[in-house]
Structure 1
Amino acid sequence: MSNVEAIIFDLWQTLIFDNRELGRDRTRLRIEGASRVLSRAGYNFTYEHLRESFRNCYRICHAKHDIGEDYSFDEQVRIFINCIEDGLLKSLDQTYIDKINYHYAEAFFDFLPPVDPDALDLLNILNKEGYKIGLISNTGMTPGRLFRRYMEDLGILKFFDVLTFSDEVGLTKPSKEIFDITIEQLGVPRDKVVHVGDHIVNDVVGAHNADVRVILVGSAQGKEAIEKPEVHVDRLRDVQYALKILPEKY
């Protein structure tokens, strides 16, 4: 039986599930919102131009993620504006920048990723069993503050002792440092911590970089040659079982 005192969860594709269609719809809303704001400010850019600017912003942010770091959400929006036209950020009134920021963020709530149907029950059980519970998320195009709102709406925010969002700490998985920050805030020795996630690199490699055991959830079968988790289960609900068979940390 494992000796676990704290469990850290991934968010995307572990507790909530996104897909390309939802992502495309959010992107469309972000671009349309920016277009309306810029039009009111006296700038007229085609949808295609704004879409390519958004893609360029994504590439810049992704390159940052590749070195284990992240931009704040406000920085990401400023990068997007600069990608539209050199000097645009300096010439825009802050009111318009704030409105673009708003549309960029709030698109998340127009196309919400569904929560795993077993998440609420699982977190409730783990909380009652006395585990400390944390979360680490690479936030992507949505700020951590909106994830908190959504988690509150879902009724799961109350179960978390620590929330670590990449846009707020400037770090991304699989960097060791983002795990270190979370473990320190949980106040539990890392040999008593387990991480639960779906991604071989971000979650398994990342947790192992921080010397933390991993329960891999979902359809990553066959990719384990990259880095093998301590336990691999098919569904989130199976985490309870996985905790019982998780090998001790020596």
Structure 2
Amino acid sequence: MEVFSEYLIFSARYDVSMVTELDDSKPEIKAVTLDLWETLLLERDGANEQRNLIRCRNLARALSKFGVKISVDRLISVLKAMTPWLLTVWEKNREVTHLDQIRFIIKAATDGSVSLREEWLDELSSAYVSAIYELPPYLNPDAPQLLRWLKDHGKKIGLICNVGRTPGFILRRFLKDEGIGNFFDVMIFSDEAGIRKPHPEIFRMAARRLGVKPSEIIHVGDNLRSDVWGAKNAGFKAIHFSTRKGRDTIAESDPNSLISISRKLGGLKEEEIIPDRTITSLAMAIEGIEELER
């Protein structure tokens, strides 16, 4: 009876319904982070293979200036043989810079008889990374609409990207050239961070730089393991951008490609990775974000 009396006194002083509402409230969403490849930037079928051919042609041409003769076919063969090494490093959520990739290629293509010299770096780096401009991906047509909506609604915007063969400094420039670079408050590229998604630290790094708690951030991306599982492990909410095409189609056509490898879930099962929302177009992210804020 005494306890009940205390409850009546409490009820008289405070609106109990308000207490319940506070308990059920959701954290305000203050920021949204986005994946890059096959979320903001899309690939045409066969683009990666063609871009690798361009890289090898450019490298062969650049190396010849320094008196190193390596055929394009040999470079292509080595580029493909590099995949298991990349996979070994990536499985540890670590990154391989484009310069380390070039070092691997030259050493393997010459059976160790030639090493990358300091004075060659600029020329060979340019040859390797310029392929994205010679055969560019295309901007998701829904990307500008989503980015403008986020800015108009006061959300901070971050980019969290696992790079492959194109380094962050080139991707940053490419996004600026595409007219969307200035939307981002923070851009994090795995080669600059030294760590890859799905490791939660790369997401926490984004949260720190945005000045926002992980629980106040939604991440949007196409990869279940890297984007959804990684983001949720870091305390973010996650929206899965699933189109059942794009990289999924490319991965099925070439199971040994880097795209296919990035799609693998490791020891996880797809049904174990549960996004907060699933969308089939980037424009739908607006509705998904609004739903998660209610």
Residue 147 of structure 1: aligned partner: 171
Counterparts in 2 of 1:1-250, with a 5 A limit?
Answer: 3-90=28-115, 92-219=116-243, 224-246=270-292
Identity in percent: 32
Structure 1, residues 16-37: CA drift from partner, whole Å, max 9, x if none? 1124411111101111111112
Tell me how far 1:48 sits from its aligned partner: 2.4
| Deviation beyond 4 Å, 4+ runs, structure 1 | none
Confirm or deny: 8 A CA contact 2:60 2:69 kept in the other structure. yes
Change (3 A) 1:39 1:198: same
* Stretches of structure 2 lacking an aligned partner (at least 5 in a row): 1-25, 246-268
User: How far is the alpha carbon of 1:247 from its aligned partner?
Assistant: 6.7
User: Alpha-carbon deviations, 1:95-142, whole Å to 9, x = none?
Assistant: 334322111100111111111111112101111110010010001000
- Which stretch of the first structure deviates more once superposed, 195-204 or 40-49? 40-49
Spell out, residue by residue over 1:52-109, the C-alpha distance to the aligned partner (whole angstroms, 9 max, x if none).
Answer: 211223332222111101022222222222222244553x543334322111100111
Question: Quick one: higher RCO (CA 8 Å, sep 6+), 1 or 2?
Answer: 1
Q: 1:156 to 1:88 in 2, by over 3 A?
A: farther
RMSD, matched Cα = 2.0
Q: Structure 1 length normalisation: TM-score?
A: 0.91
2:263 matched residue in structure 1? none
Asked whether the equivalents of residues 35 and 160 of structure 2 are also in contact (C-alpha less than 8 Å), the reply is yes
Change in 2 beyond 3 A, CA 1:45/1:77: closer
Give distance in 1, aligned partners of 2:170 and 2:210.
22
Structure 1: runs of 5+ lacking an equivalent: none
Structure of greater Rg: 2
Work out the CA distance in 2 between the residues paired with 1:63 and 1:19. 27
- Decide whether aligned partners of structure 1 residues 233 and 224 sit closer, same or farther in structure 2, where only a CA change above 3 A counts: farther
Amino acid at match of 1:34: L
Between 1:61-70 and 1:19-28, the stretch displaced more is: 19-28
- Distance in 1 of aligned mates of 2:44 and 2:113: 32
Report the Cα distance in structure 2 between the residues aligned to 1:43 and 1:89, rounded to whole angstroms.
Answer: 8
- Comparing 8-17 with 61-70, greater Cα deviation is found at 61-70
